[in-house]
Amino acid sequence: MDLRDAAQELYAVPPRDFTTERTTLARKAKDDGDKDLAKEIAGLPKPTGGAWAINMLSVHKPEVIDGVVRFGVALRTAQEEGDAEAFRELGQQRQGHLTSAVHAAKDLATELGTPLSAAAAADVEQTLRAAMADAGAAAVVGTGRLVRGLSGSGFEAVDLTGAVAAAAPGDLIVPEQEVAAKPAPKKEAASRTKEASLPKAAAPKKKPPEEEATSLADRRAAKQRAALKVAQEEFDAADQEASEAEATASSAWDVVNELSARRTRLKSDIEDAKKRLSSLEAELIGLTRDTEAAESLKKRSVREAAQKRRAADQAQRRVDRLG
């Protein structure tokens, strides 16, 4: 066992068992005579709730992570190629992909007995958003050894310092999909190459720099850059609104779960109360019968007592007459 193997095993356990498992692994390394490894294992930090959830996705549902990474590749490629239409279309789809991945993380965490808090779910979304925006972040979310959440918008590289436990150079290699997703040279470029291979005619008179700057290609590029800028601004505004809506939805999700749990508890209390009520009703019926029987006995006893008293009074009067 080396540090990376130990970390891979350690970061797959539920957060509640992390400290105990870390101590066990460190002790095992020490018992094996590797004190340096034991010290390194003991120093591995506990992951945040969001980082743990992403590690669980990489272990149990790697297709979710892979889908996020591939979508990010397509999004970055459209941006790098200046394809405003593709970038705008992918930008509109991004929140849906993120929401689906976050729900998968929530469901998996619940299945594993560690439901995510609203803050942890928000951290999951932010980390996956960074993985879509940055190739380096995309490379580490699938390691299964993420220590903390990531943050990035795509305008600058995501800070990966201390983000992965037992990090190795291979952890930061850009996924192969990044290269595979690069588009083939455009027909226009191929046409220019073909034209360059043909015999050249007499070179036309060179245009002045002012005319060169206003050439069709430059105007087209400037127009494309302007369109991309507008698309980026529209996307940023829509993305901000989507993030706020997602936060509201996440809070609503938590409220629904809490209310559902309370409803379950209340239904259980009602069932218990119904059983108690049935028992009390049966007891009341029995007491009513006993009361009616006692009432009948009381009436008979009163009548008999009155009769006995009259007989005694008559006997007393005879005694008085004879005396």
DSSP 53-99: HHHHHHHH-HHHHHHHHHHHHHHHHHHHTT-HHHHHHHHHHHHHHHH
CA-CA-CA-CA torsion sign (53, 54, 55, 56): positive
Using a pLDDT cut of 70, give the percent of the chain over it: 70
Residues 72 and 74: their CA atoms lie apart, in Å, by: 5
Residues 102 and 249: their CA atoms lie apart, in Å, by: 12
For tokens 């990474």, what's the residue? 69
Supply the pLDDT for residue 254.
62
Element housing 195 (H / E): helix 187-197
| Lowest model confidence (mean pLDDT) among 190-199, 252-261, 287-296, 303-312 | 190-199
pLDDT in tens, 267-303: 778 878 888 887 888 888 987 888 888 888 888 888 8
Contact in structure between 60 and 108 (CB atoms under 8 Å): yes
Reported as a pLDDT band with limits 50, 70 and 90, residue 123 is very high
Q: Which of 13, 129, 140, 143 is nearest to 76 (CA)?
A: 129
CA-CA-CA-CA torsion sign (146, 152, 154, 159): negative
The model's pTM: 0.55
pLDDT in tens, 133-164: 999 999 999 999 999 999 976 667 899 999 99
Reported as a pLDDT band with limits 50, 70 and 90, residue 201 is very low
Using a pLDDT cut of 90, give the percent of the chain over it: 46
Average pLDDT, the chain: 80
More confident residue, 174 or 155: 155
- 164: helix, strand or coil: strand
Mean per-residue pLDDT for 213-222? 56
Supply the pLDDT for residue 132.
94
CA gyration radius for the chain? 40
What DSSP character marks residue 205? P
Q: How many CB atoms lie within 10 A of CB 85?
A: 11
Residues 160 and 132: their CA atoms lie apart, in Å, by: 14
Supply the pLDDT for residue 293.
86
Supply the pLDDT for residue 29.
94
Residue 175 has pLDDT above 80, yes or no: no
Supply the pLDDT for residue 255.
61
Supply the pLDDT for residue 282.
86
Residues 156 and 123: their CA atoms lie apart, in Å, by: 19
Reported as a pLDDT band with limits 50, 70 and 90, residue 317 is confident
Reported as a pLDDT band with limits 50, 70 and 90, residue 256 is low
Half-sphere exposure of 196 (CA within 13 A, CB side): 6
Reported as a pLDDT band with limits 50, 70 and 90, residue 23 is very high
Supply the pLDDT for residue 280.
86
pLDDT in tens, 91-117: 999 999 999 999 999 999 999 999 999
Reported as a pLDDT band with limits 50, 70 and 90, residue 232 is low
Supply the pLDDT for residue 257.
62
Residues 160 and 316: their CA atoms lie apart, in Å, by: 116
Reported as a pLDDT band with limits 50, 70 and 90, residue 172 is low
